[in-house]
Chains A and B, each alone.
Chain A
Amino acid sequence: TQLLEQSPQFLSIQEGENLTVYCNSSSVFSSLQWYRQEPGEGPVLLVTVVTGGEVKKLKRLTFQFGDARKDSSLHITAAQPGDTGLYLCAGASNFGNEKLTFGTGTRLTIIP
């Protein structure tokens, strides 16, 4: 069974600070996604990474896929209250029509 452990589980920081969320596994993934979920809604896809060592930027969010494709990180610069939510990483073992394994989740609260 593949497991994706996220850390920290909870994070509460002041607006304007930087933060990093980690997603770790002992398994290799062909692709890894990050989702954000707000209360009362389903998760929304933020990014997909597929190449070991890949770095993708989405405005103030920077995503990195580990060289061995077993781990990933999400870095947020100058956090804003709108970044508040549950962040989930999810991995797939193969390309095409595969179910995802979801991480344990990081609940982020940005204090104005």
Chain B
Amino acid sequence: SAVISQKPSRDICQRGTSLTIQCQVDSQVTMMFWYRQQPGQSLTLIATANQGSEATYESGFVIDKFPISRPNLTFSTLTVSNMSPEDSSIYLCSVATTVLNEQFFGPGTRLTVL
């Protein structure tokens, strides 16, 4: 399994600002994903981070709001732009390393928007 770290672990931000979350993996991986988990709920996939090309966004998520970078096979960033209180959530990155699509998750970033 891969070891994944995220920074920051938590943040409190003001409405209208932006926050960039970093995800670092200890080995090269093909598939990286970004999820949102609202309080007490399951995971919702935001996008698949593609190395060297634009991310693939799920329905309801757009690049202007959640720009993603993937400069290499071990690192990705997710930016939450022009934040509102509704963006308060846990944001998780994950990697898939096996043909069985098993995913390994970072510890998450807990974001609170005031």
Interface residues of A (CB under 8 A from B): 31, 33, 40-45, 48, 50, 88, 90, 92, 95-100, 102-105, 107
Contacts and interface: CB of A to CB of B under 8 A. Distances in A.
Interface of B: 1, 4, 30-31, 33, 40-45, 48, 92, 94, 96, 99-108, 110
Given A42-B105, A92-B101, A97-B31, 7 more contacts: A33-B102, A40-B110, A43-B92, A43-B105, A99-B48, A100-B103, A105-B41
Contacts of A100: 45, 101, 103
B100 A31 contact: yes
A96 B99 contact: yes
Contacts of B100: 31, 33, 48, 50, 92, 95
Given A97-B30, A99-B33, A99-B48, A44 B101 contact: no
Contacts of B94: 42
Could you tell me the dominant secondary structure of chain A's interface residues?
loop
Contacts of A92: 100-101
A40 B102 CA distance: 21
7 nearest A-B pairs in the assembled complex, by CB-CB distance? A42-B105, A92-B101, A105-B42, A102-B43, A96-B99, A31-B100, A98-B101
A45 B104 contact: yes
B99 A88 contact: no
A70 B112 CA distance: 37
B68 to A, nearest CB: 14
Contact of A43 (B43, B48, B101): B43
Contacts of B96: 97-98
Contacts of A42: 4, 92, 94, 105-108
Given A97-B96, A102-B42, A45 B31 contact: no
Contacts of A45: 1, 102-104
